[in-house]
């Protein structure tokens, strides 16, 4: 069993009188696909936002590779190697596809002002490298032909793939996908499943997934946590979760 | 047609309501008495004019415009042609002062100052999308840095110029730090406040800045250490003596013009370089979606600060040059109206578009000078132009065309 990458314990998030997340605990191991499922309003995205640093959790601990990240601003969390996609795609719509990928490499390239103004060799090298990286990811996602188009003009499925590429180019250790299959057609969903598998195998990235599409979740996840009303009901491998009466009750209601 | 007539009728009535108290009721004085004399025919003529314009001229105009639009396109230049035309324009700008009169060169210098300020603000408003209404504050910091350094420490222009940029940059950084977490309208209001605070400080720090009187007698820039003046102070040679020329005031003006040109070109060069650099890309990304930026590990505060500071630095350079050219600084030159004018240049030209900003700076500086007879109507015309622009071309005269990095 590989080591634990992300560890969340006793996580609670309160919005005024509403306890949206109530003592949630789970862990994601390196190179594992971990899914969070649950009915609408169960608090899945809130957990995501807490882990990603977009909310400051009311209570609880989140550690990444042993390092505490709760309460850190989101850009610092991202620099720990934890990046996410959004439920409704958030690309830089007026920038080209290529530029979306260049911006994402900001923390890795030479951003020194003087170097850039004088076009020093090291600056040129880092720019070429960034372009090269972007090109590789465009090939990987099979969207190279759209490289110079505005990202907002891409087909929805391509926008989703571009958003994942934009995350992957930051070289994360944990990729968080918030409903990546929403709005995709069945064929694109199968493609997404292959993609997640491939990302884990080839790039050794762990995946934390929120998804409603059960066939995708069951097909791709190693372990699943089910949430309802802000609380985790159960955590386990897909087979266990599928047959758990509490899960069936949460989704279908009592007979 | 019926709706046209109806709206024209409403407009005419409104016009009547507005002009009646102004023109319709004349106050006539005869001896000791003052009485009001109505002049209804004048009001009726005015209402008639408005009616005719609204009912017949305006629909015709609209039809004409809709016919015309779509047929006119800006010629698309390839890289070589663009570079060539830029070189040509620079060459024209270089030899221009030697063939015209003093007044023209003076106006051209003013244009160049506004180009510099416009390009500086363009970084903040156009590239990074931060609405800054207090830009003139940094212009003032630059101008007063040179003025104060001269007044209290006897510094010359060339030593003070980098300091002016630095000081304005520091002010930009310090003021930007607390406010850049605000967005849109809130940011605009706070920056507006900062601009005013700087001006009021300059008025009230009487012992240091001379208050409303300002500081005068600021020397013009020297040429390699030689002053450009009729007489040199003890122990120095003037430039015209060195060259063996007669002293001519025109030379000084041309010299100032060329310097302004150099500063404006540097601003243009730096800002068009920066937008193609990672920082520039980050500015644009931040303008589009701050949350996505954060999720990718970009620190929004730092990126915004870099835009804010860089804009301020250019304003500082512009300010120092302004002080040197004017020979006098006082807080009157740095009112909110000035900020509004610079912002108008950026918006009129097209936010983010450098050529547009340059064009707008020329239009907004030259027009008032040319139409000096209409000085009283200046603000009215200015307002009218802005309204018309927002109606027909909200994206500016020459909308921004983003430089792309292309993947082969």
Q: Kindly report, residue by residue over A58-75, the tens digit of the pLDDT.
A: 999 999 988 999 889 999
- Residue A168: both structure tokens together: 């992957």
Residues B101-119 have pLDDT tens digits of 888 899 999 999 999 999 9
Contact state of B296 with A78 under an 8 Å Cβ cutoff? yes
CB-CB neighbours of A133 under 10 Å: 18
Contact state of A103 with B291 under an 8 Å Cβ cutoff? no
pLDDT band at A221 (very low <50, low <70, confident <90, very high): very high
Q: Which has more confidence, B190 or B81? A: B190
Domain architecture of chain A: domains with CATH: 1-81+172-255 (3.40.50.300), 95-165 (no CATH)
Compute the nearest-CA separation of B118 from chain A (Å): 20
Q: Is B397 on the interface with A (CB under 8 A)?
A: no
CB pairs under 8 A between A and B: 116
Phi/psi of residue B167, each to 5°?
-60, -45
Nearest CA in chain A to B292: A90
Q: Which residues pair with A7 in a beta bridge?
A: A27, A63
Interface test with A, best of B292, B306, B311 (most A CBs within 10 A): B292
Residues B39-74 have pLDDT tens digits of 788 888 888 888 888 888 887 877 776 665 554 455
Strands (E), B21-75: 25-30, 33-38
Residues B316/B113, Cβ–Cβ less than 8 Å: no
Q: For domain B86-336, which architecture applies?
A: Orthogonal Bundle (1.10)
Q: Is B305 on the interface with A (CB under 8 A)?
A: no
Question: Own/partner pairs for B69-74, CB < 8 Å, 24+ apart?
Answer: B74/B398
What's the pLDDT at A107? 83
What's the pLDDT at A251? 77
Q: Complex ipTM, two decimals?
A: 0.89
Pairing of strands A59-64, A4-15: antiparallel
pLDDT at B137 over 90: yes
**DSSP calls for A167-235:** HHTT--SEEEEESTTTT--HHHHHHHHHHHHHHHHHH--EEEEE-S-HHHHHHH-SEEEEEETTEEEEE
What's the pLDDT at B408? 61
Query: Residues 119..138 of B with a Cβ closer than 8 Å to A: which?
Result: none
Q: Is B181 on the interface with A (CB under 8 A)?
A: no
pLDDT band at B78 (very low <50, low <70, confident <90, very high): low
Query: Rounded to an integer, what distance in angstroms lies between the CA atom of residue B408 and that of residue B402?
Result: 18
Q: Is A81 on the interface with B (CB under 8 A)?
A: no
Secondary structure element (H or E) that encloses residue B274, with its range? helix B249-274
What value does the mean pLDDT of chain B take? 86
CB-CB neighbours of A120 under 10 Å: 14
Burial class (CB in 10 A: 0-12, 13-18, 19+), A115: middle
Domain ranges in chain B are 2-58, 86-336
Residues B253-281 have pLDDT tens digits of 899 999 999 999 999 999 989 988 899 99
Alpha helices in A33-146 (DSSP H): 44-51, 74-79, 97-104, 113-118, 121-140
Pairing of strands A174-178, A82-84: parallel
Nearest CA in chain A to B402: A95
What's the pLDDT at B8? 86
Q: Is B281 on the interface with A (CB under 8 A)?
A: yes
String of b and e for B322-355 (b: at least 16 CB within 10 Å)?
bbbbbeebbbebbeeebbebbbbbbbbbbbbbbb
Contact state of A84 with B274 under an 8 Å Cβ cutoff? no
- Residue B84: both structure tokens together: 């060539």
Contact state of B284 with A92 under an 8 Å Cβ cutoff? yes
Burial class (CB in 10 A: 0-12, 13-18, 19+), A36: buried
Secondary structure element (H or E) that encloses residue B300, with its range? helix B300-326
Secondary structure element (H or E) that encloses residue B118, with its range? helix B102-121
> Residue B281 is nearest to which of A93, A102, A135, comparing CB atoms?
A102
Contact state of B288 with A131 under an 8 Å Cβ cutoff? no
Residues B302/B180, Cβ–Cβ less than 8 Å: no
What's the pLDDT at B266? 94
Nearest CA in chain A to B286: A92
What's the pLDDT at B19? 80
Residues A100-152 have pLDDT tens digits of 999 999 888 877 788 888 888 888 888 889 999 999 999 999 999 998 889 99
Secondary structure element (H or E) that encloses residue B50, with its range? helix B40-52
Phi/psi of residue A30, each to 5°?
-60, 140
Pairing of strands B25-30, A223-228: unpaired
């Amino acid at each position: 069993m590989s080591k634990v990458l992300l560890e969340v314990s006793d996580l609670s998030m309160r919005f005024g009188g509403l306890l949206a997340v109530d003592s949630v605990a789970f862990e994601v191991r390196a190179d594992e696909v971990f899914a969070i499922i649950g009915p609408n309003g169960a608090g899945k995205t809130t957990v995501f936002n807490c882990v990603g640093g977009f909310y400051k959790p009311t209570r609880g601990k989140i550690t990444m590779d042993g390092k505490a990240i709760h309460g850190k601003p989101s850009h610092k969390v991202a620099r720990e190697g934890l990046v996410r996609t959004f439920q409704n795609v958030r690309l830089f719509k007026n920038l080209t596809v290529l530029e979306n990928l260049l911006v994402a490499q900001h923390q890795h390239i030479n951003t020194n002002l003087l170097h850039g103004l004088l076009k020093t060799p090291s600056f040129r090298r880092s720019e070429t490298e960034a372009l090269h990286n972007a090109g590789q990811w465009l090939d990987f996602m099979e969207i190279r032909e759209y490289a110079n188009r505005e990202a907002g003009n891409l087909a929805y499925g391509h926008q989703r793939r571009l958003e994942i590429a934009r995350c992957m180019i930051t070289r994360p250790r944990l990729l968080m996908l918030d409903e990546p299959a929403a709005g995709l057609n069945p064929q694109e969903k199968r493609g997404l499943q292959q993609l997640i598998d491939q990302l884990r195998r080839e790039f050794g990235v762990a995946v934390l997934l929120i998804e409603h599409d059960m066939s995708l979740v069951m097909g791709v996840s190693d372990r699943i946590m089910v949430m309802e009303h802000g609380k985790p009901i159960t955590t386990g491998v897909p087979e266990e979760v599928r047959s758990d009466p509490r899960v069936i009750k949460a989704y279908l209601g009592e007979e | 047609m019926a709706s046209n007539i109806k709206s024209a009728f409403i407009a005419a009535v409104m016009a009547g309501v507005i002009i009646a108290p102004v023109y319709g009721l004349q106050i006539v004085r005869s001896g000791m008495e003052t009485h009001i004399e109505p002049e209804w025919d004048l009001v009726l003529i005015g209402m008639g004019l408005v009616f005719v314009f609204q009912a017949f001229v305006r629909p015709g105009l609209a039809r004409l415009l809709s016919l015309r639009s779509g047929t006119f396109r800006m010629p698309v230049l390839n890289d070589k042609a663009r570079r060539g035309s830029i070189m040509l324009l620079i060459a024209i700008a270089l030899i221009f002062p030697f063939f015209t009169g003093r007044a023209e060169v003076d106006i051209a210098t003013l244009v160049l100052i506004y180009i510099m300020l416009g390009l500086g603000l363009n970084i903040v408003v156009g590239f990074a999308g931060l609405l800054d209404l207090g830009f003139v504050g940094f212009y003032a910091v630059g101008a007063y840095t040179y003025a104060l350094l001269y007044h209290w420490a006897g510094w010359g222009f060339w030593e003070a110029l980098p300091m002016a940029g630095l000081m304005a940059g520091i002010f930009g950084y310090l003021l930007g730090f607390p406010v850049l977490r605000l967005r849109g309208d809130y940011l605009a209001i706070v920056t507006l406040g900062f601009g005013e605070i700087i001006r009021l400080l300059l008025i009230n720090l009487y012992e240091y800045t001379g208050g409303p009187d300002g500081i005068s007698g600021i020397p013009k820039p020297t040429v390699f250490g030689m002053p450009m003046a009729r007489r040199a102070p003890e122990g120095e040679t003037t430039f015209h003596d060195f060259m063996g020329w007669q002293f001519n005031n025109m030379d000084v003006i041309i010299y100032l013009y060329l310097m302004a040109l150099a500063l404006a070109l540097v601003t243009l060069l730096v800002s068009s370089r920066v937008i193609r650099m990672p920082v520039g890309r980050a500015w644009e990304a931040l303008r589009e979606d701050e949350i996505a930026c954060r999720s990718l590990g970009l620190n929004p505060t730092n990126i915004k600060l870099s835009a804010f500071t860089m804009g301020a630095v250019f304003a500082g350079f512009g300010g120092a040059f302004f002080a040197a050219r004017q020979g006098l600084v006082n807080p009157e030159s740095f009112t909110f109206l000035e900020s509004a004018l610079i912002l108008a240049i950026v918006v009129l030209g097209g936010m983010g578009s450098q050529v547009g900003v340059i064009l707008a700076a020329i239009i907004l500086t030259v027009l008032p000078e040319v139409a000096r007879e209409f000085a009283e109507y200046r603000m009215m015309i200015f307002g009218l132009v802005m309204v018309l622009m927002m109606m027909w071309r909200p994206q500016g005269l020459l909308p921004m065309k983003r430089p792309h990095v292309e993947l082969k």
